[in-house]
Amino acid sequence: MFDLTFYLLIFLSVYVQVFFFVTFLENRRKIVTRIANIKLKHYPAVTIAVPIFNEEKTVAQTINSILKLNYPKDKLKLILVDDGSTDKSFDVISRFARYPNIKILQKANGGKHTALNLALEHTDTEFFGGIDADSFAHPESLVRMLEYFERGPEIMAVAPSVTVHEPKNFIQHAQKTEYHMGIYFKKMLCFLDAINVTPGPMTIFRKKVFEDLGHYREGHNTEDMEIAYRMQKHGYRIENCNDAYVFTNTPSSVRKLFRQRLRWIYGFINNTIDYRDVLFRKKYGNFAFFTLPMGIISIISVCYLFFRIVYNFFDFLYLKITTWEAVGLHLSNNIKAPDLFFLNVNSYLLLVVFIYTLILFAIIFGRKMAKERRYLSLRMLYFFPVFGIVAPFWLLKAVYNTILTRKPDWR
Amino acid sequence: MIDWKKYLLVFVITISLFLTAGYISSFFSNQKIDELRTIQDNLAINILSSETQFSLLQELSCKDVSQSLLLGEIDELGKKLEWSQSNLGNTEEVSYLKKYYSLLEIKDYLLMKKISSSCGVKSAFILYFYTTKDVCSDCSKESLVLGSLRDTYPDLRVYSFDYSTDLSAVEAMLKIYKIKDTELPALVLKDEVLTGFHNLEDLSSRVKEVFNLEERSTEATGSPKDVNSN
């Protein structure tokens, strides 16, 4: 039973990675990273909302990055919504009042989705997007994203490539690698028409999405996931513009990272529960047959693997204690060269190596897509210990919180 | 909308990967078993040769019979067999090799016994019976103790036998010493049977007393051997 579950989970994990890789092979020529400035046939009006809650340190830079976007100024509107900040965020944003295309709103704190909804009420443009007040847009990002909308009226939202802004420490470098991997996987999900998050750092929507499907919902503190689920359920297409870069500030400590990921995983589990009627329904496509099951499989696999590792660890500890009990601190002076005979080449080890090879490929290709100067870096390796060790804890906590229907704090 | 062919293709690829991984893994397992067989065959030839040599020379030339014969090889093989049993799965091949191994141990034991009585050489044998069939944490501990004991007394020869080995020669040994599976681990020190776990101190003093052995000097260069762990 123990082995059967293990092999089943390995089978499913290999399946997921092969599925991604086959998708890559099918579509690799479609992955274009543009360098030159591009021109649109026409420049539609766009409103970008910045929901702000206690972001006095970064919000000015966020707003400046929007003002510096390569987009006609008369077509770009900004709505800054102070969601009841208790720091000096409002003073900071008030300095931007002199810009004719910036509107400043202030409201009592009600959560990010309420701030975005207030901005939506003041939006009269064809396109709407939100940007987190700790994220910064690349000057070409908006125009590149809007070029995707020119490809067809059925495209209802375009998600960018989110990457880490100036990583400073070990934890942030580990996240940078994870975001690179995310860039690759997001593009693959896009080819499958199965994206499940329209990232908060900056996604552009046709305003029609909100007119047809309603405004943002709380979505278990992951409103950017809930809206994507709702769009997928109604067959609204989400594209990914891989060369539209948005740089986001990331948690700088394990504790902060834990809280952020706890919120994300809790959001995934609970939005999936809310939208469970979508699962394995043919009409919802790969979103129902691949994205959601994949997420569920990863959660189960990581939790299972974690318990297995803990079990093995205690088993090892027990052996050491037994040895100690039997012969004390027996230090053998018999040091032999390692015998290759004792290297256990069993099939699951080979399959795990295979999975990691494909993950490494995803990271390296993601780096290429993110226009990193070097495709390889030793810092890539930071990802494995940080996420390997800490991820099971936030996954288990999210499962635990779901069971208790206890909600994690926003941050 | 859904490309079912792709789902199927990925399924076929995944199955192929599983089969390939299984094939590679069994390839390495077979290689290990071949390695075991080679060691065992060499050992068999050596034992047979010593036996023949001894029979030929009879008691005429005790000095020609090598003393610390094959002990290292027997131990290494034992370790590798135990590892194979727990890691490669208890395949027919491994249990067959294990039977062969037990037989070689018995032959070596008898030969050494004969040599020591004929040539008047000091001998120190411990027969150790354990089981892998049932959970026996005392057996694991006893193996460690014996391993440590062997480090201390390089002249001590420990022959270990798995109670669950389905071999008439092993069964005969069990009968001779009246070993019961409920009393494992069991040790035989010069016809005295000790059952249950015996700690290092206890066993060490008994070994000293029974065999009158010398402890390894700190400058000793000979490689100490561990007893087979189970």
Query: For A245-258, what is each residue's pLDDT tens digit?
Result: 999 999 999 999 99
Residue B106 has what pLDDT?
A: 87
And the tokens for A355? 């999975």
Handedness of CA A200, A202, A206, A208 (dihedral sign): positive
Contact by Cβ (8 Å): A187, A31? yes
**Measured between alpha carbons, how far is A350 from A358 in angstroms, rounded to an integer?**
13
Share of chain A above pLDDT 70, in %: 95
Handedness of CA A110, A116, A117, A122 (dihedral sign): positive
* The CATH number fitting domain B1-121, selected from 1.20.58, 1.10.287, 3.30.70, 3.30.300: 1.20.58
Nearest to B24 among A19, A23, A345 (CB): A345
Residue B230 has pLDDT above 70, yes or no: no
Q: Please, which pLDDT band fits residue A118 given cuts at 50, 70 and 90?
A: very high
Pairing of strands A135-137, A237-248: antiparallel
Distances from the Cα of A136 to the Cα of A100, A149, A354, angstroms: 21, 22, 36
Residue A146 has what pLDDT?
A: 97
For A20, nearest residue in chain B (alpha carbons): B10
CA atoms within 13 A on the CB side of A40: 20
**Measured between alpha carbons, how far is A32 from B203 in angstroms, rounded to an integer?**
74
The verdict on A348 touching B (C-beta cutoff 8 Å) is yes
Nearest to B9 among A22, A282, A347 (CB): A22
Residue A226 has what pLDDT?
A: 97
Residue B229 has what pLDDT?
A: 39
Contact by Cβ (8 Å): B198, B165? no
What is the rounded average pLDDT for all residues in chain A?
Answer: 92
**Measured between alpha carbons, how far is A363 from A168 in angstroms, rounded to an integer?**
19
Which residues in B have their CB inside 8 Å of a CB on A? 1-2, 6-7, 9-11, 13-14, 17-18, 21-22, 24-25, 28-29, 32, 35, 80, 83, 87, 137, 140-142, 144-145, 147-148, 151, 199-200, 223-226
- Low-confidence winner among A301-315, A329-343, B119-133 (lowest mean pLDDT): A329-343
For B34, nearest residue in chain A (alpha carbons): A341
Closest CA to A76 of A22, A127, A17: A127
**Chain A residues close to B28, C-beta within 8 Å:** 345
Nearest to A327 among B6, B7, B148 (CB): B148
Chain segment A352-383, per-residue pLDDT in tens: 899 999 999 999 999 999 998 888 888 888 99
Chain segment A256-275, per-residue pLDDT in tens: 999 999 999 999 999 999 99
**Chain A residues close to B146, C-beta within 8 Å:** none
Residue B214 has what pLDDT?
A: 66
Nearest to B14 among A14, A282, A341 (CB): A14
Q: Please, which pLDDT band fits residue A99 given cuts at 50, 70 and 90?
A: very high
Phi-psi region of B70 (alpha: psi -120 to 50; beta: other; left: phi over 0): left
| pLDDT, greater one: B80 or A197 | A197
Chain segment B86-108, per-residue pLDDT in tens: 777 657 888 888 888 888 888 88
Residue B215 has pLDDT above 70, yes or no: no
Q: 3-state class of A245 per DSSP?
A: strand
Residue A410 has what pLDDT?
A: 46
**Chain A residues close to B141, C-beta within 8 Å:** 322, 325-326
Pairing of strands A203-206, A155-164: antiparallel
**Measured between alpha carbons, how far is A88 from B187 in angstroms, rounded to an integer?**
80
The verdict on A285 touching B (C-beta cutoff 8 Å) is yes
The verdict on A326 touching B (C-beta cutoff 8 Å) is yes
Q: Please, which pLDDT band fits residue B221 given cuts at 50, 70 and 90?
A: very low
Name the segment(s) of chain B with CATH classification 3.40.30.10: 124-230
| pLDDT, greater one: B148 or A236 | A236
ipTM: 0.89
Residue B137 has what pLDDT?
A: 79
Q: Which amino acid is at A153?
A: P
Pairing of strands B192-195, B186-189: antiparallel
For B33, nearest residue in chain A (alpha carbons): A341
Q: Please, which pLDDT band fits residue A315 given cuts at 50, 70 and 90?
A: confident
**Chain B residues close to A331, C-beta within 8 Å:** none
Architecture of domain B124-230: 3-Layer(aba) Sandwich (3.40)
Residue A332 to residue B151, Cβ atoms within 8 A = yes
Residue A84 has what pLDDT?
A: 95
Nearest to A350 among B25, B80, B224 (CB): B25
Q: For B194, phi and psi rounded to 5 degrees? A: -115, 130
Residue B18 to residue A345, Cβ atoms within 8 A = no
- Low-confidence winner among A9-18, A165-174, A390-399, B65-74 (lowest mean pLDDT): B65-74
Q: For A45, phi and psi rounded to 5 degrees? A: -75, 140
Chain segment A54-70, per-residue pLDDT in tens: 999 999 999 999 999 99
Residue A115 has pLDDT above 80, yes or no: yes
Name the segment(s) of chain B with CATH classification 1.20.58: 1-121
The length of chain B is 230
- State the DSSP H helix or E strand holding residue A260, giving kind and residue range, or none if neither: helix A254-274
Closest CA to B207 of B173, B157, B163, B161: B157
**Measured between alpha carbons, how far is A63 from A52 in angstroms, rounded to an integer?**
11
